[in-house]
Amino acid sequence: MKLAGRMERLGTESAFEVLAKAKALEASGREIVHLEIGEPDFDTPAHVAAAAQQALDKGHTHYVPAPGIPELRTAVTDFLERTGRLHTSPDRVLITPGAKPIMFFTIMALCEEGDEVLYPDPGFPMYASIAAFAGATPVPVPLREENGFVIDPEELASLVTPRTKLLILNSPHNPCGSASTPEQLEAIAEIAIRHDLVVLSDEVYWALRYDGDHHSVLDIDGMAERTILLDGWSKTFAMTGWRLGFGVFPSALVEPITRLVINSVSCTSAFSQHAAIAALEGPWDDVDTMLDAFRERREVIVSGLNAVPGVSCVEPGGAFYAFPNITELGMSAATLADRLLEEAGVACLPGTSFGAYGEGHLRFSYANSVENIQRALAAFKDLTS
């Protein structure tokens, strides 16, 4: 069967491929420490699960409006206002089954052949994949270790051309764990306004930050009408399997994106949207507990990696990823990641899973217990000594 040519431009997310390989090794009797998959290892808060069950008991099992139920769209705007992130209105909020559709629908609605999409590299691999699938040209913006793994506004400005249509930002960042500063975002906003760029701001890790407040390009005057905020429940509330995301769109994009929702998924499941309301409006204790655990694990993994000869690791400011530099070990990132899995029983991802500029690095997700992280560090040290 001959596939459409566009399928050759569609990439994948290697975390799931490594997970499948690691699971196969486990099935053969091997013990594997999973530091490859990017999801919290905590249960969804009990009051959220209870709200879903109550919604099921009440018969919320039918179609709902494509943009999301009104109660949830209002709850999102209230939550953003209450947490000091954004003042907006419910009619600009769209609910989707997971946060990925927000980036997919945004790129499909805005970008076509001849357009260019600027995206961070290393960065979430779907940015380049979806841009290429839409027929646009993905243009990597290097994140360099010497710059703290954040975008250098001067380098960004040098990459803008008359064909640039969309700029993708991600903070806190996957895979590097870096977080944008107000000064950096001011400079990026000036570039976006000067060149009339649309910005997609991926902030799914906004709550998982360790040192100070979250900063967004949406904090800057003039950016709300050219920026799409992408967020969801997966990381903040340990709800990856619920498939719940939301976007806040400039008013001109709401109707076109709604049409894409109708044409693809119809709507997001009704009962899960009631659970989403409970997450936004309920207690914050579970989030604080999770963040405290990630902070402890960050200390363990960063100090442990820096104790491995030939390895250095910058302390991440957010998310739950360590991105150590392994260039002195004399192996490519892919080779070392393969050896760690096959020989040491440690599943992680090569930095090149996130773009060419990720070479010389590995990504470890520390969404695992301190005990397992210490086991992985010991195995890593043994392998490379």
What confidence tens digit (pLDDT) does each residue in 368-383 have? Answer: 999 999 999 999 999 9
pTM of the model: 0.96
User: Residues 87, 81: contact at Cβ < 8 Å?
Assistant: yes
Asked whether the predicted pLDDT for residue 253 surpasses 90, the reply is: yes
Mean pLDDT of 343-360: 97
- As to burial, measured by CB atoms within 10 angstroms (0-12 exposed, 13-18 middle, 19+ buried), residue 273 is buried
Q: What is the pLDDT of residues 133-145, one digit of tens each?
A: 999 999 999 999 9
Q: Which two tokens stand for residue 374?
A: 């210490």
Query: What does the pLDDT read at residue 139?
Result: 98
User: Residues 376, 33: contact at Cβ < 8 Å?
Assistant: yes
Q: Which two tokens stand for residue 58?
A: 């009440």
How big is the CA angle at 105 (ends 281 and 254), to the nearest 5 degrees?
65
In one-letter notation, the amino acid at residue 89 is S
Query: How many residues in the chain?
Result: 385
Q: Which two tokens stand for residue 307?
A: 């104790």
Mean residue pLDDT of the chain comes to 97
Mean pLDDT of 331-349: 96
Query: What does the pLDDT read at residue 323?
Result: 98
Structure confidence at residue 14 as a pLDDT band (50, 70, 90): confident
User: Residues 350, 203: contact at Cβ < 8 Å?
Assistant: no
Structure confidence at residue 343 as a pLDDT band (50, 70, 90): very high
Mention every residue, 6+ apart, whose C-beta is less than 8 A from residue 311: 305, 324, 325, 326, 328, 329, 384
Percent of the chain with pLDDT over 70: 100
Structure confidence at residue 13 as a pLDDT band (50, 70, 90): confident
How big is the CA angle at 353 (ends 22 and 358), to the nearest 5 degrees?
130
| C-alpha R_g of the chain | 21
